[in-house]
Structure 1
Amino acid sequence: MTALWPSIDPTFVRDVETRTPIRFRHGLAGHPLLTLDEIARLAEEMPPASLSAEPAEKPIAAGDAADVAESTDDIGRRIRDVAVNRSWFTLLHVHQVPRYRALVDEVLDGLAEASGMDPADLTRRMGFLFASSPRGVTAAHFDIEHSFCMQLQGTRTLGFGRFADEEEKKREIERYWNGSFGRFHEQPETIAEHVISPGTGCYIPPYTPHWIVNGEETSLSMTVTFFNRDNETESLVQAFNTKFAKTGITPKPFGESPSRDRVKVGAMKAWAAVRRGAAR
């Protein structure tokens, strides 16, 4: 029997360090919490801010068009009708619901055990569910977390790309922190494609351009994400640099000065703590 979590081994630690995409098997297809009806029921429970709907068919390099929102009214019925309504639905942060938090933790704790990583090092754990119509497109983008895309129903092609050079990467990361959420206006060069079907999936490293194209069936998938110390530090430094650059001063990029990076991380954590205190 295939374990729920991705079928990886201790060599995966090297893939994390080198940020190398890999394909794997998993045992989540057919899980009772991950059927179309259960996903629709979960959507009916979740707050509107945790739901997203948009047209399924779009360019791979959709840019800001990837953020063209549709109404999330009557979301449960619309998800159940996803086979015919040409839509693409996202349930964000499903870990806020206890039964799905337990599932996210089970997957990531199992992944940590299989790879030899310390589960405590897999922080800021999140879960996302996706339901999309036939021929739907997940537009080209990158994320800042370690992501595990696990196909539950239907077949899709996951494409991986790369930045043209370090200047493009720097520019796109700056755009990310200024609200692009990693979306591309031009499709990156394709370096690999993987067909994923129920019971298979791919590890998507941070800052890796990727996109997904559905086949002729409804697609259901789950993505679980986490940060480790390295990419959490990287993201905090980048966020600091973006804020600081608005003053007209160009800060040193991440990695050029570890001592300054530590100060920036401390500043961002202190700022976040102040914001949390103000919100109470």
Structure 2
Amino acid sequence: MTDIISASQDDLARRFPREPFATRHGLAGHPLFTLEALARLAQKLPRDRVEYNAGDLEPGVRPEDIRMLDMAPEDVVRRLESCNAWMVLKRVEVEPAYRALLEEALAGVARRLGHDSPAAAGFHDIQGFVFVASANATTPFHFDPEENFFVQIHGPKSFHIFDNRDGSILPDEELEMSPARHRTIPYDPKMEERAEVFRMGPGDGLFVPHLWPHWVRTGDGHSVSMAITWKSPRAERLNTLLYANGLLRRFGWAQAKPGTHPAWDATKIALYRLLRATIEPLRRTETMRRLLRGLVFGRQANYYYGKKA
């Protein structure tokens, strides 16, 4: 069996899951990632699983300056060559064909790590995010709450990633999570001297560690990429704490850095998980997800439904 994702055994042994490293993959040219297939996927997904805007942005663009597009999602994909757009299709694993592909990709990595399944390797909550963008489009500076193997399927792309383990790129407060906050985070061009830049084309990939900030730009041609994501037990616990801290800060209670008060951290994690378990059954429809986000976090939590330009 040929693995979808290939990485050197040395990188898997020395760098995974702490540092980024280049990989290769076998998804270039796959029929699930043609523009027509992705247009159909964009049309099928719930609207809060599709986010798109103009692509001609700077890495540090302010959220309020991001221009929206007054087009249906499927039309954005079909007109990608001319409409200057950036789009992400979220949680594509709800479609069985994409789910099977994600699981097969991570099963191969798990075997390379000495495990007989993704679950045994600690790959929990497997999700897929497909990115489609016009030429010279930018994904502004942000971080992801998952670990992922990023795969470039069509077109050129440059991926600028930053080591923030010492907290010098982003302070702890910026890592706190909340649906009330836009995904973009403050960026200073002076940071760029610390970026590790991966130049990618079809067949190239990259392991992206949990919470490492980055920004991405396409080249002279439209781009299709996918993030094959999961959450390790450590990432799940830290994410829960960061969400709890973000919620408390929203209501005026600033929180200390994770790990400063372990007992209080554990209490917040338990309470947030209880709250999430209580409301999760209500989040099964797009209408209820939108309503709950607005009630708990305010109107800005539904920013991708905002006014179009």
Tell me which interval the TM-score lies in, with the shorter structure as reference length.
0.7 to 0.9
Taking the TM superposition and a 5 Å limit, the aligned residue runs for 1:15-94 are 15-17=15-17, 19-65=18-64, 67-73=66-72, 75-94=73-92
Match in the other structure for 1:268 = 272
Deviates more, 1:112-121 or 1:25-34: 112-121
Q: Cα gap change, 1:87/1:163 in structure 2, threshold over 3 Å: closer, same or farther?
A: same
Measured in 2, the distance between the counterparts of 1:147 and 1:67 equals: 26
8 A contact 2:259–2:265 mirrored in 1: yes
Query: Among residues 220, 224, 232, which one is paired with 2:224 in the alignment?
Result: 220
8 A contact 2:144–2:210 mirrored in 1: yes
8 A contact 2:153–2:226 mirrored in 1: yes
8 A contact 1:10–1:114 mirrored in 2: no
* TM-score computed with the length of structure 2 as normaliser: 0.80
Taking the TM superposition and a 5 Å limit, the aligned residue runs for 1:118-267 are 119-120=118-119, 121-163=122-164, 166=167, 168-174=170-176, 178-187=180-189, 188-189=191-192, 190-246=194-250, 249-267=253-271
8 A contact 1:52–1:72 mirrored in 2: no
Deviates more, 1:185-194 or 1:19-28: 185-194
8 A contact 2:63–2:184 mirrored in 1: no
Aligned with 1:180: secondary structure? coil
Measured in 2, the distance between the counterparts of 1:267 and 1:253 equals: 18
What is the percentage of aligned positions where both structures have the same residue?
27
Q: Cα gap change, 1:12/1:138 in structure 2, threshold over 3 Å: closer, same or farther?
A: same
- Aligned pair count? 278
Structure 1 position 116, deviation (Å): 2.8
Aligned with 2:176: secondary structure? helix
Match in the other structure for 1:9 = 9
Measured in 2, the distance between the counterparts of 1:89 and 1:278 equals: 27
Measured in 2, the distance between the counterparts of 1:249 and 1:47 equals: 34
8 A contact 1:51–1:72 mirrored in 2: no
Q: Deviations over 1:208-232 (max 9, x none)?
A: 1111111111111111111101111
* TM-score computed with the length of structure 1 as normaliser: 0.88
8 A contact 1:160–1:191 mirrored in 2: yes
CA RMSD, aligned part only?
A: 2.6
Aligned with 2:31: secondary structure? coil
Structure 1 position 180, deviation (Å): 3.1
AA of the residue aligned to 2:60: A
Structure 1 position 16, deviation (Å): 3.5
Deviates more, 1:118-127 or 1:167-176: 167-176
8 A contact 1:63–1:185 mirrored in 2: no
Measured in 1, the distance between the counterparts of 2:171 and 2:60 equals: 16
Structure 1 position 24, deviation (Å): 0.5
Measured in 2, the distance between the counterparts of 1:254 and 1:36 equals: 42
Q: Cα gap change, 1:119/1:77 in structure 2, threshold over 3 Å: closer, same or farther?
A: same
8 A contact 1:2–1:26 mirrored in 2: no
Aligned with 2:227: secondary structure? strand
Measured in 2, the distance between the counterparts of 1:28 and 1:65 equals: 35
* Unaligned ranges ≥5, structure 1: none
